[in-house]
């Protein structure tokens, strides 16, 4: 299905509101047309010397237009806000059910941020394409009726109206679609050049590359501006055409007057002035539509990707026990990629503490992803309490395994809400107990608003180590029998890292712990240590 149609079909959920907004928009337009038409009619008759009373409708249509325009604004914004919320919730649900777990897992934060941007673009489509276009469509028969009533030849002026409302926007959309790819690429290069210059600031200074980097960014910027300029040139030419057509229409209407329909001519001219006012923006809307096509495609594709590992049709009952066994597991990310491992076996008895070490890229995180059912083994089996996890529902499985990784996110929200993500039913005492166990209780207590302090932008700023410990507190709250920690200290300095593991030792007593690390600090208390090299686990001295 055309992705844009899919997006529009989402908005149709708010069909009632949308219809109301559209009807009001249309009524306001009709009132505007009537106001101009009546004025013209009255003026024409008076000028012809035909006595006519001031139409009582004149002030009425004036008032109606003003009131209807107000109501239309209110209703269309109500509809827009509803549509915005629907689109976002739909995308969120879709992502959550599809590859998003895996996406976030693989540090695809930028791809996700781009999706959010795309949704932003689509809001614009609703506001500036969808509503005015429907307005134009609905105005057409009314305009035809008004004109036909005055004189049939006056219907000719509908031709330029049709061209402005539909043909030019279509041309604009096509031009914009071709341009969008070019502009998108230029934008991406500009972003990566800027990021390179700033991310590598140290290197840039040391190798005296300031001038080179600036020139590079400016070259990418010039590409972007050229692409945008191209579109503006096309767009402005289309607008000029729209204007010329509209004026041609007016001239045509006047021409009708010379063939024996003087009153009709004046009415037609004044009606057209108002009608064209409403559709002259449509060629620009066409540009926007063309630019949004790619955004719609990305959003729909991401939201409807489907789960990476489908849940079993008839899930087995959750096992009572929590020991984990990997048996001859083979995995690769794609048919044409090499195996990450071909025959991996691992046992994690209940209550045991195990570490898997290895350099980055050895496949440590793949083990975590397999266990969480974000990916499925090509061969072999993973069992929880003796039951193959491919027969278990992912959601129930993940309630057994509390995961803390390097990408675990702290939300821009209160500390309380961040913790409640671990267990929405937790009471005050349990929250504090978890904070105590993770040894951040003192930090939180010292904040002026305690648990209700806001994290992130404009809120309390925690140090890297404190943030990790808060994430640990949340993980502990989940009360899952198995703890899976994947590089929980990435990006922290050595002293903070050591402190974290000391806390971890005491906080996780009695649970099954699997630690995935590139090296040990020496303070971890472990039963078993494996080293993952060349796709195989080798016992390391522990």
Comparing CB distances to other proteins, the nearer of 307 and 349 is: 307
Interaction between residue 457 and other proteins (CB under 8 A): yes
What string of DSSP letters covers 401-469?
EEEEETTPPPPSSBHHHHHHTT-TT--HHHHHHHHHHTT-HHHHHHSTTGGGPBBSTTSB---HHHHHH
Angle formed at CA 109 by CA 437 and CA 393, multiple of 5 degrees = 65
| CA separation for the pair 243, 343 (Å, rounded) | 71
Closest-CA residue to 129 (of 293, 301, 253, 311): 293
| CA separation for the pair 487, 189 (Å, rounded) | 31
Interaction between residue 243 and other proteins (CB under 8 A): yes
| CA separation for the pair 281, 277 (Å, rounded) | 8
Q: Judge contact between 504 and 523, C-beta under 8 A.
A: no
Stretch that binds other proteins, among 76-84, 289-297, 384-392, 508-516 (CB under 8 A): 76-84
Shortest CB 410 distance to other proteins, Å: 8
Q: Provide the sign of the torsion angle of the four alpha carbons 137, 138, 139, 143, taken in this order.
A: positive
| CA separation for the pair 364, 357 (Å, rounded) | 8
Q: Which of 2, 63, 391, 463 binds other proteins (CB under 8 A)?
A: 63
Comparing CB distances to other proteins, the nearer of 2 and 277 is: 277
| CA separation for the pair 218, 47 (Å, rounded) | 63
Interaction between residue 500 and other proteins (CB under 8 A): no
Q: Which of 139, 163, 173, 265 binds other proteins (CB under 8 A)?
A: 265
Stretch that binds other proteins, among 3-11, 256-264, 313-321, 338-346 (CB under 8 A): 256-264
Shortest CB 387 distance to other proteins, Å: 18
Closest-CA residue to 65 (of 19, 18, 24): 24
Stretch that binds other proteins, among 103-111, 173-181, 379-387, 431-439 (CB under 8 A): 103-111
Report 368-427 residues binding other proteins (CB under 8 A): 372, 395, 398-399, 403, 407-413, 421-422, 424
Residues 6+ apart with CB under 8 A from 459: 412, 453
Buried b / exposed e along 187-226 (16+ C-beta atoms within 10 A): bebbeebeeebeeeeeebeeeebeeebeebbeebbebbee
Report 148-207 residues binding other proteins (CB under 8 A): 187, 190-207
Shortest CB 203 distance to other proteins, Å: 5
Residues 6+ apart with CB under 8 A from 452: 414, 415, 416
Residues 6+ apart with CB under 8 A from 255: 265
Stretch that binds other proteins, among 54-62, 133-141, 171-179, 329-337 (CB under 8 A): 54-62
Comparing CB distances to other proteins, the nearer of 106 and 327 is: 106
Closest-CA residue to 391 (of 317, 324, 472, 443): 317
The token pair at 439 is 């040894």
Comparing CB distances to other proteins, the nearer of 196 and 304 is: 196
The token pair at 328 is 């001859």
Comparing CB distances to other proteins, the nearer of 228 and 390 is: 228
Stretch that binds other proteins, among 240-248, 336-344, 379-387, 429-437 (CB under 8 A): 240-248
Comparing CB distances to other proteins, the nearer of 5 and 181 is: 181
Stretch that binds other proteins, among 2-10, 33-41, 135-143, 178-186 (CB under 8 A): 33-41
| CA separation for the pair 15, 65 (Å, rounded) | 24
Report 299-358 residues binding other proteins (CB under 8 A): none
Comparing CB distances to other proteins, the nearer of 262 and 349 is: 262
| CA separation for the pair 168, 286 (Å, rounded) | 8
Shortest CB 212 distance to other proteins, Å: 7
Shortest CB 328 distance to other proteins, Å: 26
Shortest CB 379 distance to other proteins, Å: 25
Interaction between residue 47 and other proteins (CB under 8 A): yes
Comparing CB distances to other proteins, the nearer of 349 and 496 is: 496
What does the per-residue mask of binding to other proteins show for 275-304, with x meaning CB under 8 A? --x---------------------------
Buried b / exposed e along 147-180 (16+ C-beta atoms within 10 A): beebbebbebbbebbebbbbebbebbbebbbebb
- Secondary-structure percent of the chain, ordered helix, strand, coil, rounded to 5: 65, 10, 25
What does the per-residue mask of binding to other proteins show for 110-129, with x meaning CB under 8 A? --xx-xx--xx--x------
Stretch that binds other proteins, among 15-23, 57-65, 343-351, 376-384 (CB under 8 A): 57-65
Comparing CB distances to other proteins, the nearer of 9 and 236 is: 236
Comparing CB distances to other proteins, the nearer of 92 and 333 is: 92
Report 502-531 residues binding other proteins (CB under 8 A): 518-519
427: left (phi over 0), alpha (psi -120 to 50) or beta: beta
| CA separation for the pair 268, 259 (Å, rounded) | 14
Interaction between residue 104 and other proteins (CB under 8 A): yes
Q: Provide the sign of the torsion angle of the four alpha carbons 47, 53, 58, 59, taken in this order.
A: positive
# of chain residues touching other proteins (CB under 8 A): 134
Q: Which of 15, 137, 244, 538 binds other proteins (CB under 8 A)?
A: 244
Stretch that binds other proteins, among 244-252, 341-349, 430-438, 443-451 (CB under 8 A): 244-252
């Amino acid at each position: 299905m055309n992705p844009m149609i899919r997006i529009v079909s989402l908005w149709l959920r708010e069909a009632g509101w949308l219809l109301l907004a559209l009807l009001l928009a249309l009524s306001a337009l009709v009132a505007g047309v009537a106001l101009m038409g009546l004025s013209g009619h009255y003026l024409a008759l008076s000028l012809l010397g035909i006595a006519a009373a001031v139409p009582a409708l004149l002030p009425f249509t004036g008032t109606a237009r003003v009131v209807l325009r107000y109501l239309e604004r209110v209703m269309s914004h109500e509809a827009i806000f509803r549509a915005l919320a629907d689109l976002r919730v739909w995308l969120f649900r879709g992502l959550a059910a599809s590859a998003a777990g895996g996406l976030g897992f693989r540090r695809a934060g930028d791809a996700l941020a781009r999706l959010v941007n795309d949704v932003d673009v689509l809001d614009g489509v609703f506001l500036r394409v969808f509503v005015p276009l429907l307005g134009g469509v609905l105005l057409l028969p009314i305009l035809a009726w008004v004109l036909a009533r005055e004189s049939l030849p006056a219907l000719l002026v509908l031709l330029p109206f049709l061209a402005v409302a539909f043909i030019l926007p279509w041309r604009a959309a096509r031009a914009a679609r071709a341009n969008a790819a070019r502009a998108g690429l230029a934008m991406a290069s500009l972003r990566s050049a800027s990021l390179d210059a700033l991310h590598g600031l140290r290197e840039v200074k040391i190798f005296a590359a300031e001038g080179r980097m600036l020139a590079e960014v400016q070259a990418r910027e010039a590409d972007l501006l050229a692409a945008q300029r191209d579109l503006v040139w096309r767009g402005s030419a289309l607008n000029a055409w729209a204007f010329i057509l509209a004026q041609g229409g007016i001239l045509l209407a006047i021409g009708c007057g010379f063939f024996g329909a003087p009153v009709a001519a004046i009415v037609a001219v004044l009606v057209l002035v108002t009608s064209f006012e409403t559709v002259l923006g449509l060629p620009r809307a066409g540009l926007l539509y063309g630019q949004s096509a790619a955004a719609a495609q990305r959003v729909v594709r991401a939201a409807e990707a489907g789960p990476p590992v489908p849940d079993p049709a008839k899930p087995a009952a959750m096992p009572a026990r929590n020991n984990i066994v990997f048996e001859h597991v083979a995995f690769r990310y794609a048919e044409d990629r090499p195996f990450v491992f071909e025959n991996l076996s691992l046992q994690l008895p209940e209550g045991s503490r195990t570490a898997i070490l290895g350099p980055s890229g050895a496949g440590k995180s793949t083990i975590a992803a397999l266990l969480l059912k974000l990916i499925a083994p090509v061969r072999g089996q993973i069992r929880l309490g003796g039951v193959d996890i491919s027969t278990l529902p992912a959601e129930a499985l993940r309630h057994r395994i509390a995961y803390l990784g390097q990408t675990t996110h702290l939300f821009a929200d209160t500390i309380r809400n961040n913790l409640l993500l671990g267990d929405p039913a937790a009471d005050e005492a349990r929250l504090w107990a978890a904070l105590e166990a993770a040894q951040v209780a003192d930090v939180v207590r010292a904040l002026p608003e305690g648990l209700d302090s806001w994290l992130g932008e404009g809120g309390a700023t925690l140090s890297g180590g404190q943030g990790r410990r808060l994430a640990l507190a949340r993980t502990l709250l989940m009360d899952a029998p198995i703890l899976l920690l994947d590089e929980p200290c990435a990006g922290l300095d050595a002293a903070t890292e050591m402190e974290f593991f000391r806390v971890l030792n005491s906080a996780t007593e009695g649970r099954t712990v699997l630690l995935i690390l590139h090296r040990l600090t020496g303070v971890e208390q472990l039963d078993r240590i494996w080293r993952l090299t060349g796709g195989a686990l080798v016992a390391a001295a522990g």
